[in-house]
Protein backbone atom coordinates (compact mmCIF):
# COMPACT_ATOMS: atom_id res chain seq x y z
CA UNK A 1 0.00 0.00 0.00
CA UNK A 2 1.09 3.56 -0.69
CA UNK A 3 2.53 5.22 2.44
CA UNK A 4 1.11 8.59 1.38
CA UNK A 5 -2.41 7.17 1.59
CA UNK A 6 -1.64 5.66 4.99
CA UNK A 7 -0.41 9.07 6.15
CA UNK A 8 -3.65 10.69 5.00
CA UNK A 9 -5.73 8.02 6.75
CA UNK A 10 -3.88 8.68 10.01
CA UNK A 11 -3.66 12.48 9.68
CA UNK A 12 -7.34 13.18 9.04
CA UNK A 13 -8.87 11.41 12.07
CA UNK A 14 -6.18 12.66 14.47
CA UNK A 15 -6.60 16.23 13.24
CA UNK A 16 -10.39 16.05 13.54
CA UNK A 17 -10.16 14.51 17.03
CA UNK A 18 -7.74 17.20 18.25
CA UNK A 19 -9.91 19.95 16.76
CA UNK A 20 -13.08 18.58 18.40
CA UNK A 21 -11.36 18.17 21.78
CA UNK A 22 -9.97 21.71 21.78
CA UNK A 23 -13.23 23.18 20.44
CA UNK A 24 -15.31 21.50 23.15
CA UNK A 25 -12.97 22.75 25.86
CA UNK A 26 -13.05 26.30 24.50
CA UNK A 27 -16.82 26.16 24.07
CA UNK A 28 -17.49 25.02 27.65
CA UNK A 29 -14.97 27.26 29.41
CA UNK A 30 -15.26 30.31 27.16
CA UNK A 31 -18.93 30.73 27.98
CA UNK A 32 -18.17 32.16 31.42
CA UNK A 33 -16.00 34.87 29.91
CA UNK A 34 -18.69 35.75 27.40
CA UNK A 35 -21.43 35.93 30.05
CA UNK A 36 -19.22 38.30 32.04
CA UNK A 37 -18.35 40.38 28.98
CA UNK A 38 -22.03 40.72 28.09
CA UNK A 39 -23.02 41.66 31.67
CA UNK A 40 -24.91 38.45 32.38
CA UNK A 41 -26.83 38.39 29.09
CA UNK A 42 -26.72 34.61 28.72
CA UNK A 43 -28.64 34.31 25.44
CA UNK A 44 -26.23 36.75 23.77
CA UNK A 45 -23.20 35.01 25.29
CA UNK A 46 -24.44 31.62 24.12
CA UNK A 47 -25.11 32.95 20.64
CA UNK A 48 -21.63 34.46 20.34
CA UNK A 49 -20.12 31.27 21.78
CA UNK A 50 -21.89 29.21 19.09
CA UNK A 51 -20.66 31.55 16.37
CA UNK A 52 -17.10 31.34 17.71
CA UNK A 53 -17.17 27.54 17.72
CA UNK A 54 -18.40 27.41 14.13
CA UNK A 55 -15.61 29.77 13.07
CA UNK A 56 -13.10 27.69 15.00
CA UNK A 57 -14.16 24.52 13.20
CA UNK A 58 -14.13 26.21 9.80
CA UNK A 59 -10.64 27.63 10.24
CA UNK A 60 -9.09 24.46 11.65
CA UNK A 61 -10.73 21.91 9.41
CA UNK A 62 -10.14 24.17 6.42
CA UNK A 63 -6.47 24.50 7.25
CA UNK A 64 -6.13 20.76 7.83
CA UNK A 65 -7.68 19.99 4.45
CA UNK A 66 -5.67 22.73 2.75
CA UNK A 67 -2.40 21.27 4.05
CA UNK A 68 -3.38 17.64 3.44
CA UNK A 69 -1.32 17.20 0.31
CA UNK A 70 2.10 15.66 0.82
CA UNK A 71 4.42 16.82 -1.95
CA UNK A 72 7.03 14.09 -1.60
CA UNK A 73 6.57 10.38 -1.97
CA UNK A 74 6.75 8.61 1.36
CA UNK A 75 8.63 5.34 1.04
CA UNK A 76 9.31 4.24 4.63
CA UNK A 77 7.47 4.03 7.95
CA UNK A 78 10.00 6.48 9.37
CA UNK A 79 9.00 9.03 6.73
CA UNK A 80 5.32 8.49 7.64
CA UNK A 81 6.05 9.29 11.27
CA UNK A 82 8.21 12.29 10.43
CA UNK A 83 5.69 13.78 7.99
CA UNK A 84 2.79 13.20 10.40
CA UNK A 85 4.71 14.79 13.27
CA UNK A 86 5.37 17.87 11.13
CA UNK A 87 1.79 18.20 9.94
CA UNK A 88 0.18 17.43 13.32
CA UNK A 89 2.65 19.70 15.09
CA UNK A 90 1.64 22.55 12.79
CA UNK A 91 -2.06 21.92 13.52
CA UNK A 92 -1.42 21.85 17.27
CA UNK A 93 0.63 25.06 17.14
CA UNK A 94 -2.12 26.79 15.16
CA UNK A 95 -4.76 25.60 17.65
CA UNK A 96 -2.61 26.90 20.49
CA UNK A 97 -2.13 30.21 18.73
CA UNK A 98 -5.86 30.55 18.14
CA UNK A 99 -6.49 29.69 21.77
CA UNK A 100 -4.18 32.43 23.03
CA UNK A 101 -5.60 34.89 20.52
CA UNK A 102 -9.13 34.08 21.77
CA UNK A 103 -7.99 34.56 25.37
CA UNK A 104 -6.42 37.89 24.47
CA UNK A 105 -9.64 39.05 22.80
CA UNK A 106 -11.77 37.82 25.72
CA UNK A 107 -9.61 39.62 28.28
CA UNK A 108 -9.62 42.84 26.23
CA UNK A 109 -13.41 42.65 25.88
CA UNK A 110 -13.81 41.84 29.57
CA UNK A 111 -11.61 44.77 30.58
CA UNK A 112 -13.60 47.08 28.34
CA UNK A 113 -16.89 45.74 29.69
CA UNK A 114 -15.71 46.32 33.27
CA UNK A 115 -14.62 49.87 32.42
CA UNK A 116 -18.00 50.54 30.80
CA UNK A 117 -19.78 49.17 33.86
CA UNK A 118 -17.64 51.29 36.20
CA UNK A 119 -18.35 54.36 34.08
CA UNK A 120 -22.11 53.67 34.17
CA UNK A 121 -22.17 53.32 37.97
CA UNK A 122 -20.39 56.65 38.51
Q: Please give the pLDDT value at position 94.
A: 86
CA 1/CA 29 separation, integer angstroms: 43
- Tens digits of residue pLDDT in 32-73: 888 888 888 999 999 999 998 998 899 888 888 888 887 788
- Which CA distances in Å does 97 have to 24, 40, 45, 54, 104? 16, 28, 23, 17, 11
Mean pLDDT of 10-36: 89
Residue 122 pLDDT greater than 70, yes or no: no
Amino acid sequence: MNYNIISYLIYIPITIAITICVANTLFKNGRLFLVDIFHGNQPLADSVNNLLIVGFYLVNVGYAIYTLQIMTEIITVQMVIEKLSTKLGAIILILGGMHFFNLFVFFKLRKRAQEDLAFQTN
